[in-house]
Structure 1
Amino acid sequence: MTIKNLLNVALITGVAVGTVSCKKDSDNDTTPPAGQKVYALGIGVTTTTATTNYVVQTSDLMSGTVSLAGNGLLQDGYRDYAYAGSKFFSIGGLGITDVNTLSLNASDKLTTQTGLTFELQNNELIDIDGTGKTMVGASLPTGPTVGLNAKFYTVDVASNTVANKVDVPMNNIHPSSEDWLFHTGMQVRGNQMFQTFYPVNAATYETKNTDYNYVAIYSYPGFVLQKVIKDSRTGPSGAFNTRSGLFKTESGDLYAVSNSSFSNGYSQSTKPAGILKIASGATEFDANYFFNTDAAANGGKIAHAIYIGNGKLFAEITTKVPTAADRWSDANLRLAIVDLNAKTVTPVTNSPVFSGNGGRSFAATTDEGKVYCAITVAGVMNIYQTDIATATATKGATIEGTFLGGIARLK
């Protein structure tokens, strides 16, 4: 599904009438056997007129079918997903600002808590340190007619509330007279927050400024803008709504990932795809580190990625150089493991070549040395389990739906 299709469908109508039988929380009878794992999956079903979103649970990602029938909790409108503290956040977008916070009750059934709402639709919500206690969110207006301030906030997971919120003028982050900016990633490190973004025409989505990689640095938790740094070795980090622009390692090193790819919406590409580093404790780009992923063996443009530990990314990377005709296609992808320290790209054995989900965060999760994501081939969507140690994928369960929007282990 391309980003144009995603936007057009979602703007036509936020919710379609589902063709499957989905039950309310109290009727959800998918109770896992005692001791089994429980995963939550955000699944989208797209028709010619709309996209409908559901959250389902399963204990088996590797066999059979993950069905919506009698299992799916209907989510109103457009949804994206985040995870922290054994809670799965179904986050509204495209005009919807509420969050459904899903967790397991005493019977290990999904249950929904409401009440968490943002002023503007959320761009990203992250667990700041992996403890599941505090999340940081960002809500940026999509254009100057929507608002002039970026909104940054913390969320207290236990109380399911916004703990504090700060407005930062968009023009202070990047000159609005030159271009608007779209958020692509953020990380909290100590008493600072780092944000990647790219300049864009808010009306046409043209990207005429692709000669620099930008990182805005704020205090944390005060969200006072301290400075914006830039580097000319790559273009901007990330792409439209993918949230794959910035990653943090266990040591505190930050890596800004640029693709400037036509396939992910850029209207031009003037610099090689690559990765830059901000070393632990530093607030400038490391002049001695540059990983040109375009030129690397087995390389290409990293369209989507998650951090999987030990200085490695699990990524969807292009298999051929995109052209202007490929704009918004998110096509010709394969799974790969990217070693940020060794500067290597290792293709995942048994990964098919596929198209991604356009402007969405990468729906993938790590669990006991494996990574789980979904790939659609010939109209059929399956879970793929990748063994990190061997970089080998195994095809798993079939998912009833069009795309996987989020996945997390709740138990």
Structure 2
Amino acid sequence: MKTNCKLALLAALAFTTFSCSSDSDKAGSETGGVDTGKTKYIITATTGATGIADYLLTTDDVATGSITTTGNGLEQDGTYRYYITAQNNFFSLLYGQGNPGAVTTYNLTTEGKLVKKSNFQAETVHVFAAVNKDILTIKVPRSGASIASMYKIDAEKSLITGEVQQDTKKLAGNGERAFYTWATQVGDKVYMPYMSIKGDGVDNFGTSNPDSTWVAVYNYPELKLEKVIKDNRTSYLGAYFTNGLFQDENGDAYGFSGAIATSNAVLTSTKPSAIVKIKKGTTDFDKTYFFNVQEKSGGYKISATNYISKGKFLLLMYGNAGKNNGVPKLAIADVYNQTFTWVTNAPATLTSVTSRYNITTEDGNSAIVGINTPEGNWIYSINGTTAVATRGMKVEGGQITAIAKLKY
């Protein structure tokens, strides 16, 4: 899980992926169960011990109190776990370092107890996203063979139901290869932003095309390539293991670029870190829209993004060493009004933040995130309108790696 891009590596190490279930997800249990209208939070935390994976902790409320990994929670098998929820099931994917890894499914009983539902082997993947009632996963090669494999997993049955392949060299069409950063359902299609990489085994993630943006558009469920959307006002969207494209309530899609493309581990992007837009019903970038976040932030770059609601996004921003000390900071971007606001009341020193695919509060106004610091680890609520962080539950005995929520 290494890249030659230092900023991308920081992002990959700092954030573990997870997501929340949608309102349309149906509650599950050992026996099928009924939806009681109740919910539980799932907090994953790692002790950092060699060979020990995250603990899964459950709680009714994350606004107050404390919780610990000591004598509590479910310990998972294997390290490097990544998370996603779909159809009210919580999926834990083992990153197998190139080898097949376990996909473990959990859900809640009608009493609210977290239980293991199933466990099966699947290829180690670099992209995983909820699409309709499936989880779409993609294994993307960085060297050697150029064929990417896309797998459809039935999120209700926890079964692989299909596979489609894509030649990434053919997709890139520029002598390099396409490396998908993520996949996002936009309407009835799947949009897959990608970066162009050399993939030569020496400078795998380097590129000779640092100042271009690409989004491959596929139909679903066939996963047939329909078009590649291109632009050259910023660099690629997202990053390794990092989503950079989100659809809002209006059906428009917004893309986030950190402008961190490299060649031989040297930053070569000359374009600014920025946000671009694809209007609903179109397959082209909106040339009238360009949100220069790097300029409005005073030189910081987008590292990770989480959608709150109503055009408000939580951003993790990285600075440049020597210019703004390289200190990571949280901010709120309003993509409708193109405003940028630093988050206040958050810890000054962030060890890591679970700012990818977080859950929002019931009213949709705030993001719920885990913030790890040298002084301790807490769950915070960050308001998308005021940009104020409010400290909640303390997590002891391990650093927070993910937060999710299920119905029961």
TM range (shorter): 0.7 to 0.9
Within 1, Cα distance between the matches of 2:404 and 2:154? Answer: 19
| Equivalent AA in structure 2 for residue 365 of structure 1 | I
Q: Please say if residues 332 and 353 of structure 1, whose CA atoms lie closer than 8 Å, have aligned partners that are also in contact.
A: no
Aligned-partner SS, 1:172 = helix
Q: Please say if residues 82 and 406 of structure 1, whose CA atoms lie closer than 8 Å, have aligned partners that are also in contact.
A: no
| Equivalent AA in structure 1 for residue 192 of structure 2 | Q
Mapped pair 1:81 → 2:83: yes
Residue 158 of structure 1 deviates from its aligned partner by: 1.8
* CA shift in 2, pair 1:374/1:73, >3 Å: same
Q: Please say if residues 262 and 323 of structure 1, whose CA atoms lie closer than 8 Å, have aligned partners that are also in contact.
A: no
* CA shift in 2, pair 1:260/1:90, >3 Å: same
Within 1, Cα distance between the matches of 2:178 and 2:161? Answer: 26
Paired position in structure 1 for 2:159: 161
Mapped pair 1:105 → 2:109: yes
Within 1, Cα distance between the matches of 2:11 and 2:337? Answer: 36
1:2-401 aligned at under 5 Å gives the runs 37-47=39-49, 49=50, 52-77=53-78, 78-93=80-95, 94=97, 95-118=99-122, 120-128=123-131, 134-145=133-144, 147-175=145-173, 177-178=175-176, 180-202=177-199, 203=201, 204=203, 205-243=205-243, 245-261=244-260, 267-296=267-296, 300-318=300-318, 320-321=319-320, 332-355=327-350, 357=352, 362=356, 364-368=358-362, 369-401=365-397
Residue 72 of structure 1 deviates from its aligned partner by: 2.4
Deviation string, structure 1 residues 357-389 (Cα, Å, up to 9, x no partner): 49x872521122332111122252211112334
Which of the pair has the greater relative contact order for Cα pairs under 8 Å at 6+ separation?
2
Within 2, Cα distance between the matches of 1:390 and 1:364? Answer: 18
Q: Please say if residues 169 and 178 of structure 2, whose CA atoms lie closer than 8 Å, have aligned partners that are also in contact.
A: no
* CA shift in 2, pair 1:96/1:54, >3 Å: farther
Q: Please say if residues 278 and 286 of structure 1, whose CA atoms lie closer than 8 Å, have aligned partners that are also in contact.
A: yes
Deviation string, structure 1 residues 113-132 (Cα, Å, up to 9, x no partner): 224443x2122332336xxx
* CA shift in 2, pair 1:51/1:211, >3 Å: farther
Q: Please say if residues 126 and 140 of structure 2, whose CA atoms lie closer than 8 Å, have aligned partners that are also in contact.
A: no
Relative to the length of structure 1, the TM-score reads 0.80
Deviation string, structure 1 residues 140-177 (Cα, Å, up to 9, x no partner): 333233x4322223332221222322111122222484
| RMSD, aligned α-carbons | 3.2
* CA shift in 2, pair 1:382/1:112, >3 Å: same
* CA shift in 2, pair 1:96/1:40, >3 Å: farther
* CA shift in 2, pair 1:39/1:334, >3 Å: same
Gaps of 5+ in 1: 9-25, 27-33
Q: Please say if residues 275 and 293 of structure 1, whose CA atoms lie closer than 8 Å, have aligned partners that are also in contact.
A: yes
Q: Please say if residues 168 and 179 of structure 2, whose CA atoms lie closer than 8 Å, have aligned partners that are also in contact.
A: no
* CA shift in 2, pair 1:90/1:142, >3 Å: same
Paired position in structure 2 for 1:410: 406
Within 2, Cα distance between the matches of 1:201 and 1:54? Answer: 37
Deviation string, structure 1 residues 322-378 (Cα, Å, up to 9, x no partner): 57999xxxx6222222111111112222123444649x8725211223321111222
Aligned-partner SS, 2:141 = coil
Residue 135 of structure 1 deviates from its aligned partner by: 2.7
Aligned-partner SS, 2:271 = coil
Residue 237 of structure 1 deviates from its aligned partner by: 0.9
Residue 4 of structure 1 deviates from its aligned partner by: 6.0
Within 2, Cα distance between the matches of 1:190 and 1:262? Answer: 29
Q: Please say if residues 125 and 135 of structure 1, whose CA atoms lie closer than 8 Å, have aligned partners that are also in contact.
A: no
Residue 96 of structure 1 deviates from its aligned partner by: 4.3
Within 2, Cα distance between the matches of 1:52 and 1:5? Answer: 20
Gaps of 5+ in 2: 1-5, 14-29, 31-35
Q: Please say if residues 213 and 237 of structure 2, whose CA atoms lie closer than 8 Å, have aligned partners that are also in contact.
A: yes
Within 1, Cα distance between the matches of 2:224 and 2:38? Answer: 44
Within 1, Cα distance between the matches of 2:107 and 2:266? Answer: 37
Aligned-partner SS, 2:394 = strand
Q: Please say if residues 259 and 303 of structure 1, whose CA atoms lie closer than 8 Å, have aligned partners that are also in contact.
A: yes
Stretch deviating more after TM superposition (280-289 or 53-62): 53-62
Q: Please say if residues 66 and 399 of structure 1, whose CA atoms lie closer than 8 Å, have aligned partners that are also in contact.
A: yes
Q: Please say if residues 116 and 162 of structure 1, whose CA atoms lie closer than 8 Å, have aligned partners that are also in contact.
A: no
Within 2, Cα distance between the matches of 1:364 and 1:114? Answer: 24
Within 2, Cα distance between the matches of 1:357 and 1:153? Answer: 30
Within 2, Cα distance between the matches of 1:313 and 1:7? Answer: 19
| Equivalent AA in structure 2 for residue 221 of structure 1 | P
| Equivalent AA in structure 1 for residue 251 of structure 2 | G
- % identical equivalent positions: 30
Relative to the length of structure 2, the TM-score reads 0.81
